Chain A
Amino acid sequence: MSTTTYREAMRRSLRDALQRDERVFLMGEDVGRYGGCYAVSLGLLEEFGPERVRDTPLSESAFVGAGIGAALGGMRPIVEIMTVNFSLLALDQIMNNAATLLYMSGGQFNVPLVIRMTTGAGRQLAAQHSHSLEGWYTHIPGLRVLAPATLEDARGMLWPALCDPDPVLIFENGALYNTEGELADDAGPVDISTAAIRRSGGDVTLVAYGGTLRSALGAAEELAGDGVEAEVIDLRCLRPLDDATILGSVARTHRAVVVDEGWRTGSLSAEVSARITEEAFYDLDAPVARVCSAEVPMPYARHLEDAALPHADDVVAAVHRLGA
């Protein structure tokens, strides 16, 4: 075990992938000489050279599309998009090509591509660098959508994502990069299909992912002080959703609160809530509750941004409203 950060864990996974498979290369804006906008790829250019750690022009659509083409051509590209807001410039390629080619070609052309991007708020980056649009991507058949929330997942999700024959999106919450913790020196690949129960409890299920896992765990800690035992689920894989883990937990706790940094309307939290209602309605002792970001473009001022985001206190309050 050694102390590491989420950023370093991610970098270790990149280095590992580049070492393990010659077909793997990383490309994106400022991933090379600059070292990555969030310093995730710092040092990799020196280690692997400019062919495999490729700086791109600011052309999201072209370099994401080039990643798709390179995947079709036998490579295993990792494309980094600086932030999820910018990924909208490449949405055509992600949806109309990456997610669609296999089906549209009658099963002939799969796209083994990994796209990583930063998501989330909390750093006063205002309304064009702070949103959580993972939920939009979970709408699209053909994609696998991952949200590593822990050091183990930051270290372990990339390699299995690269081994997936189809496109995988990895959302890294920007607020997590500096989080520190202990990580086994031999930490390696993890499962990328299932949700994880990060804390067990019998009174209420808190469903969270990515940046909101910390809020949910904080809330569970606080609730424990009030005598309420919360079970915390980390979704990990946002598409396809691991219904069994969610429904199994709700069957035990009879209450659920979904914590999502995305906007409430048309969100991933809405999807999770709907599935619980559809599949576990008679297990419920209370309506499913949701704690989401305020429906505003993210403001710059710290107090406003803070007010817009879901916090542990909000989760605790939501649980109490359910009568737990």
Chain B
Amino acid sequence: MTRASAVPAPKAGTASGRAPGEDHGLHLLREMLRIRRFEERCVELYSKTAIRGFLHLGIGEEACAVGVMDALTPDDAVVATYREHAHALARGVSMRSTMAELEGKLEGCSRGRGGSMHLFDAATRLYGGNAIVAGGLPLAVGLALADHLQGAQRVTACFFGDGAVAEGEFHESMNLASLWHLPVLFCCENNLYAMGTALERAQAETDLSLRAASYRVPSWEVDGMDVLAVEDTARHAAEAVRAGGGPHFLELRTYRFRAHSMYDPELYRDKSEVERWKERDPIPALIARLSADGLLGGGELEQLEAEIAAELDDAVAYADAGTLEAVEDLERFVTSERAEEAGPR
């Protein structure tokens, strides 16, 4: 087991070979800001009832998705949870089609069939958007099994929360992936709460990396509020997985600043706890770092914000102008429309 407790933030010229140079640092900042601003707008749209149903925001957790996605290639696969706006956007699903999906429009990445919890995108190999906690883990194992059987050098990144670790599917999947030495990068976003149930109220062993390690899966604990640390560790882990090292596990220690969903009165945690975590907000942290490195002295941040605001306005306009799927198509895609495949190849 390789285990680096409290991974230090990478310095320029770390072993990953990815110094936080201007372009790259700004890129990470842009991605996190895109997600943050997108989700802030979602709250407004929810109040206006343009978005309905369950809306789970990951504000505060952006560094996890952004850092991990940066370590993947377009050929890799991603399996995510119901709190996956960040994963879709960071993976490259357009803000337009993501917002259209949240508004239930035909132009959405799932044709308005999935909504906030079920974002899918074949082009970027995003396999959902799974709202059964831990339900995506076996799927990720299977995608990796397919790659193994086809000799493909691909990684399947599987995101899930700390709540999933209590599910049997977590343990079955961890065991199977390890037993068969499959190329899965398990990314546990530990935000300390399974909906309203605190980690220590749900887990006999709260060190989640130990749970993975018990299946002989190399595990890292990572500061999930530090995008550079996430990216650096994810890159190392993904490279190891890709090189045939079998599954790896990242415990991304993070925090959700907002309620579990729009229905959550947050009776289960102190406001002071939330405020303490907000001091570690990954976005100001990166801004401070880039500023200290002299990378934001020329109005770069303002320009980023302006570009993101324009992208977001465009996405909302696109979604608002989107079409509602014809009710006549209600039963489309219960089964495939393509003709049955020709028999043997």
Contacts and interface: CB of A to CB of B under 8 A. Distances in A.
Interface in A146-170: 159-160, 163-166
A159 B145 CA distance: 22
Contacts of B118: 104-105
Interface string B321-335: 000000000001111
Contacts of B137: 62, 65
Interface string B119-158: 0111000011110100101111111111101100000100
Contacts of A67: 142
Chain B, interface size category, equals 35 or more
Nearest to A192: B340
Interface of A: 20-23, 25, 51, 56-57, 59, 61-75, 77, 92-93, 96-97, 101-110, 112, 141-142, 144, 159-160, 163-166, 189
Closest 7 CB pairs of A and B: A69-B142, A65-B138, A73-B146, A106-B111, A62-B172, A105-B120, A59-B172
B172 A74 contact: no
Contact of A69 (B143, B179, B341): B143
B176 interface: yes
Q: Pick from B110, B120, B137, B172 the residue with the most CB of A within 10 Å.
A: B172
A211 to B, nearest CB: 27
Contacts of A56: 176
B343 A159 contact: yes
B11 to A, nearest CB: 38
A72 B138 contact: no
Contacts, number: 170
A25 B169 CA distance: 22
Contacts of B335: 102, 142, 144, 165-166
A313 to B, nearest CB: 40
B145 A107 contact: no
Contact of B142 (A68, A92, A106, A144): A68
Contacts of B144: 69, 73
Nearest to B176: A62
Contacts of A104: 110, 113-114, 118, 120, 128-129
A106 B114 contact: yes
